[in-house]
Amino acid sequence: MTTATLDAPSQARPAKQKVILCEGNEAAALGVALARPDMVAVYPITPQSSLVEHVAKLIADGRMDADIVDAEGEHSVLSVLQGGALAGARTYTATCGPGLAFMFEPYFRTSGMRLPIVMTIVTRDGITPQSVWGGHQDAMTVREVGWVQVYCETVQEVLDTTVMAFKIAEHHDVMLPVNVCLDGNYLSYGTSRVELPEQAEVDAFMGVKDVNWHVALDPLRPMAVDPLTGGSGGKGPSSFVRYRKGQCRGMQNSLRVIEEVHQEWAQRFGRNFAPLVEEYRLDGADYAIMTLGSMTGAAKDAIDEARDAGKRVGLIKLKTFSPFPVEALLKSLRKVRALGVVDRSVGFRWNCGPMYQETMGALYRLARESGSILPSMSFIGGLAGADITVGHFHRVIEATEKLLTGSAPTEPVWLNEKD
């Protein structure tokens, strides 16, 4: 199963779950607590700060048994966790924007060392023009570094995905770090009803922790971690190449594992999230718009209204952005004849949204199999915290509809420019 629809019949519900009201940052913290990490390292940054405050409070209140390291910066935050993971700890942190930029050096290395660290990115725009508001620019900027990146749509999905992220990261076929991306402002501070799974149920779901079987700094099994490799030929570069290939294989494996873990989650907890690509009212649609993260809620409302108005439009939402779920996306793309892609960040090199740029690769695959090119266009909206409203999505739908008959513009459409 590569796609799911929210109106699919849900699984048999397990024991009744406690219902609480909380913001997305707290939901993430609660998800972390349920996953029982050994070590959390924190450094505050807007709009992530309340998340680490919640984590610290959970530990202080004895509701979470983890070593918390108040590091002196994000660079050290991730470095402390690397050390912890190499010593066998399940580890967690959260950051965004400038913090993510500052930790880039160890961030790069985490995936290289195949350390299953889970890190929330409470996505933020910026760095300049200076902005503390939401946007996907931070996470998009680091998309080529070998982390698995999944984007949440709702507060409930934040909690559930945070727990699932540990299981995905630590799967022996994956062994990669995972970013759970939640939209700064909209999800971080958005408060909604959340079902809280039972700890025992989550424990059963998580299974036995085993994070450093493949690489460890442990006097009981001494090894050199990450010796120098490379050179102009021979053993050095070839071992490097095999290593890189292994990382890419882990990324590809994660597509299957993300699906399996979501399936198991649905069975145990009754909440069924599309693991890779979600279709919304795509059946019978002539064209589709594509979204990522929390904007999808408004997009779905716009789709409903457009459908009511007789437009044959549907929606494709990515949950997993990295690795890019090409096969799953192709299944959805085959159903439509035009596509509009809405990004909350900028791809400077192609003068379009990064998700659109990635999707163009999938469209090429589609063109090869169908012999014709699916007309498509890029929309950029929601930068620096701007709201992408239902109204904006109607503009998106209208412009995309025109692709069925007219030619596709090469320039992106900038939403919020004249709001």
Partner 1 sequence: MGRGYNTIAFDAAKCDGCGDCMTACATVKTGTDDKARSRIQIVGSESDGFELALCRQCGDPKCVTVCPAAALTKNYDTGVIEWNAAKCVDCLLCTIGCTYAGIALDAGVGHVAKCDMCYASPAGAPACVPACPHDALTYITTSRIYNEVGDWEDLFAPGLAGCQGCNTELLMRHTLRRVGPDTVLATPPGCVPGMGSVGFNGTTGTKIPVFHPLLTNTAAMLAGIKRQYKRVGREITALAIAGDGGASDVGFQSLSGAAERNEQILFMVVDNEGYMNTGMQRSSCTPYGAWTSTTPVGKGSGGMPAQGKTQDAKNLPLIMVNHRCEYVATASTAYMEDLYDKLDKAIQASKRGFAYLHVYSPCTTGWRFPTDQNMEVARKAVETNFVMLWEYTRATACTSRGRSMIRCRSRSI
Which of 238/370 has CB closer to partner 1? Answer: 238
CA distance 168 to 401: 38
- Within 13 Å of residue 377, how many CA atoms lie on the same side as its CB? 21
User: In the structure encoding, which two tokens stand for residue 140, read together?
Assistant: 């998009």
CA distance 149 to 162: 12
Binding site for partner 1 (CB under 8 A): 38-39, 41, 67, 69-73, 75-77, 79-89, 91, 105-106, 109, 216-219, 221-231, 235-236, 239
CA distance 167 to 254: 11
181 neighbors 97 (Cβ within 8 angstroms) = no
Which of 216/384 has CB closer to partner 1? Answer: 216
Going from the C-alpha of 344 to that of each of 42, 105, 356, the distances in angstroms are 26, 25, 11
Nearest distance in Å: CB 287, partner 1? 48
Nearest distance in Å: CB 388, partner 1? 38
Nearest distance in Å: CB 193, partner 1? 35
User: In the structure encoding, which two tokens stand for residue 10, read together?
Assistant: 């849900």
Which alpha helices (H) appear in 4-102, and where do they start and end?
24-35, 49-60, 74-86, 97-102
Omega prior to 289 cis, within 30 of 0: no
Which of 9/227 has CB closer to partner 1? Answer: 227
User: In the structure encoding, which two tokens stand for residue 398, read together?
Assistant: 């209208």
Q: Which residue has the tokens 């913090």?
A: 99
Which of 230/409 has CB closer to partner 1? Answer: 230
CA distance 240 to 317: 36
Nearest distance in Å: CB 169, partner 1? 17
Nearest distance in Å: CB 9, partner 1? 44
Nearest distance in Å: CB 231, partner 1? 7
Which of 200/220 has CB closer to partner 1? Answer: 220
Which of 230/246 has CB closer to partner 1? Answer: 230
